[in-house]
Chains A and B, each alone.
Chain A
Amino acid sequence: MIDGLGGALSHIFTPLPFLYVFLGTVLGIVVGAIPGLSGAMLIALTLPLTFYMDPVNAIVLLIGMYVGAITGGLITATLLRMPGTPSNVVTTFDGHPLAMSGRPGRALGLGIAASFVGGIVSWVVLLLLAKPLSIWATRFGPFEYFTLILMAMVLIASVSQGSMVKGLIAGFLGMLVSMPGVDPSAGQPRLTWDWYVLNGGLKLLPVLIGIFAVSQIIGDIVSIGKKVDRIETSLSGMLMSLRDWRRQAFNMLRSSLIGTWVGILPGIGASIGSIMAYTAAKNMSREPEGYGKGSEEGIVASEAANNATVGGALIPLIAMGIPGSVIDAILIGALMIHSIQPGPTLFLTNGNVVWAMIAACLVANVIMLIVMLCSVKVVSQVMYVPRTFLLPIILVFCIIGAFALDNTMFDVWVMLGFGVLGFAMERAGFPLGPFVIGFVLAPLMEEKLRSGLMMTAGSIEPIFTRPLPMLFLSIAVILLIAPFIRAWRQNRIARRAGAPGLSSGEGDPTR
């Protein structure tokens, strides 16, 4: 471990890789600070530029963006009450009231320090857990893998914003969209409608750029008339005193661990992590009445947790090839573009890349802290970049990105098509995260199921007789039926109380 990490750190501190981590982190902060743009969008758009880069340089650039984007959203969440990225929603609850009370520097300072601590705590867990977990995962057979992915898919759907049914539809749709093309198990084309361009299937990058970037651009154009109120950024009180550190230490550690744990669970992401940490902090606080009115504990809990999900989410990616969040799904795509197969053998086959990912996570957090403390006033100005100029230019970059993959206009049309689909899905309340994770995981899931069935001559008995597949399947079933049981109980309580049921949709799992 020491050798691997030491080697990766010494490599990252050579000029070119360090430049990439630095550039990635700064770009991530800037994009995160622009309302309407997200880290997923930045990383999806950057992927085509990494084709010709060394895999290690490419991956450290993307990790820097990942860390930077989650932190950059803190600025708009605090100063504008507009979360720069979805993971900063909870920061708006207390960050903005504190900023409005004349202490924007204090609000930003707490958020930056908490983000750094969250990032470092989750990095330590990543360092300690990734390799042992990957060694354990090498013992997984096809049915263990199949049921693990099935469980991950249900978990993603059950915690996605909106409704579980819509999350499931989005996940299944992502799976279905990954299926056209030559079936790798049988070697024959399927779902191609005899159209030769579909023989290679729909590629990850155009689908990703369409779903995340183009759909967001369409949505931003619809709401382009939204006014942004200016607030002056004063830096006074930004640095935390020793007393502040002592007061917030337990909150920071608890929130960081919650964020790391949520990050490890496949597909959940930073938004849920920050909500859970915020709720825990409020429930355990001596001053819960201050939450939502500029509570310093609230800002710390939210920001420590959302940054901690980064390291946590990298653990299942590195150890098992299962994305812990949407951005991790894109990172899996980046690895595959560079002919690196994610999975438990990644430490053996591409150890240098794995250690570079782990080292880049640490270095990016340190760079983030320094850049945010030194330039938050400058960065906060990018919030006011006119979107009338920004959105069309990003659209052009989307087209370049989709085309650059294979130099075919078909990919550009695919991207535009998925942009419209993504916009419609968002308007209808379908979450996009499960779609992307379904798209990335479906080929692996199908391959494992079919290879398992080949080994057992078509019998699915091992799923019910081996402990791990049975455990994963049981968790998936519980996650599936729990919302329905909860809805039934709520309706029963409402009926007993004489209320006319929950007609507004509360307690309805299809909501």
Chain B
Amino acid sequence: MDLQGAPRWELGVAAFFVLACSVVLWETRSIPPGTFEPLGSAPVPQATAIFIMLLSIAVGVRAVRRLSTVSDLSEPLDYQPRPLDALAVALITIVYVLLLDARLLDFAPLTAIFLFIVISLLARFGFKAMVGAAVAGAVTGWGAQYIFTRVFVVDLPGL
């Protein structure tokens, strides 16, 4: 991975940090001053948020300056990146967690379905991979449910 980071990502992340720290600073206004100790609860988060904002602005400015030159610096990859697949997996995962939270189905069948869909997607819906995905989903879903609830005695989401 590029240690300098892609400038668009740098700019986006720096902007997010500035925004998040502004929200934090706004929230610290409602923290009352300390009564039994001199510092109180607000100054440390305030100082931390201000430091992050200042440093993020420096990174953001530099990212803007780099935006025009980065195309010359980036190296060609020997594979095709699949950002859309990552986005699809993220969305499917959100739906999976929402369904677990709603307890519409038990952990095991829901996990089996989730794994079947995600593995098939990552394997580009090849027939062999889909069969493997069905087996892996069932084994992991019911296997994990058995091991975690019976052996480790840990509660699982959706149960």
Contact = CB atoms under 8 A, between A and B. Distances in A.
26 contacts: A52-B154, A168-B55, A176-B21, A176-B45, A179-B44, A183-B41, A186-B34, A186-B36, A188-B31, A222-B82, A224-B82, A224-B122, A225-B81, A386-B123, A388-B129, A389-B136, A392-B115, A393-B140, A416-B93, A427-B6, A428-B6, A429-B2, A449-B44, A450-B39, A453-B39, A458-B39
A388 B55 contact: no
Given A179-B48, A188-B41, A191-B27, 6 more contacts: A176-B52, A190-B41, A190-B42, A191-B28, A223-B81, A427-B6
B10 A429 contact: yes
B138 interface: no
Interface stretch (A66-74, A93-101, A314-322, A396-404): A396-404
A169 interface: yes
B27 to A, nearest CB: 6
Contacts of B35: 186
B67 interface: no
A48 interface: yes
A407 interface: yes
A193 B27 CA distance: 7
Nearest to B83: A222
Nearest to B52: A172
B28 A165 contact: no
Contacts of A176: 21, 24, 45, 48-49, 52
B119 A392 contact: yes
Contacts, number: 203
Contact of B40 (A186, A223, A225, A426): A186
Contacts of A227: 78-79
A510 interface: yes
B86 A191 contact: no
B12 A169 contact: no
Interface in A138-168: 161-163, 165-166, 168
Nearest to A426: B1
B31 A190 contact: yes
A173 interface: yes
A38 B46 CA distance: 34
A218 interface: yes
Interface residues of A, number: 71
Contacts of A424: 9, 12-13, 16
A124 to B, nearest CB: 34
A426 B2 CA distance: 9
Contacts of A453: 37-39
A481 interface: no
Contacts of A412: 97, 100, 157
A227 B90 CA distance: 23
A139 B4 CA distance: 42
A473 to B, nearest CB: 16
A391 interface: yes
Contacts of B89: 218, 221, 392, 395
Contacts of B2: 429
Nearest to B124: A388
Interface string A339-373: 00000000000000000000000000000000000
